[in-house]
């Protein structure tokens, strides 16, 4: 047991405030130096070793779980001390579950969070750079160039509800402030 580690089994996006003892009334936010957000995902990164995933996989998985991934990551950031480090991870290759979530965090925190270059920390790790562009598609492999395209009346109402503006790649202007290539893409 360690007083410096917390492992929980709780809805991560609704993780309760943890109160540090020893101070009058307790201290709330910024409790942790390190946060690991290993979020639920579509699991498409496990296709190589779990062939059952092939039978069930659809692009909708990433669309359906994106919002939850954002919520968990934002909650993780809210529990992080200033100057702390958070790692966000999935076992998905889908950029809507990966770089799109990271881009969303960077947008929402307006400069309060930095995407650091970890390559020097792990020089021998085989990896690829994060994506800076990707396509948003539905289960019929129809591409939607913009969020607005996904909301047109020709798209079924139930399907429109799955799409969020944060699923699309950042603009060229945004990319100047979002070094998404610093995301690490680990391959099996």
Annotation marks residue 41 as catalytic: no
CB 26 within 8 A of CB 61: no
* DSSP, residue by residue, 4-69: T-----S-GGGPPPP-BTTSTT-B-S--EEEEEEE-----GGGTTT-THHHHH--THHHHHHHHHH
In DSSP terms, 80 is beta-bridged to 32
DSSP reduced 3-state for 86: strand
CB atoms within 10 A of CB 115: 19
Q: Which of 37, 41, 91, 183 is catalytic?
A: 91
Any idea which residues carry the catalytic annotation?
Answer: 91
């Amino acid at each position: 047991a360690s007083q410096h580690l917390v492992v929980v089994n709780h809805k991560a996006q609704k993780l309760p405030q943890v109160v540090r003892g020893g101070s009058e009334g307790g201290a709330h936010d910024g409790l942790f130096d390190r946060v690991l957000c290993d979020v639920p995902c579509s699991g498409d990164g496990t296709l190589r070793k779990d062939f059952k995933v092939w039978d069930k996989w659809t692009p909708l998985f990433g669309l359906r779980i994106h919002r939850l991934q954002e919520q968990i990551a934002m909650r993780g950031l809210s529990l992080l001390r200033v100057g702390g480090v958070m790692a966000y991870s999935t076992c998905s290759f889908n950029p809507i579950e990966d770089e799109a979530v990271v881009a969303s965090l960077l947008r929402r925190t307006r400069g309060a969070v930095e995407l650091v270059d970890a390559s020097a920390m792990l020089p021998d790790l085989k990896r690829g750079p994060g994506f800076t562009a990707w396509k948003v598609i539905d289960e019929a492999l129809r591409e939607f160039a913009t969020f607005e395209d996904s909301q047109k009346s020709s798209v079924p109402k139930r399907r429109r509800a799955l799409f969020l503006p944060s699923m699309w790649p950042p603009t060229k202007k945004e990319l100047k402030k979002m070094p998404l290539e610093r995301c690490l893409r680990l391959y099996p």
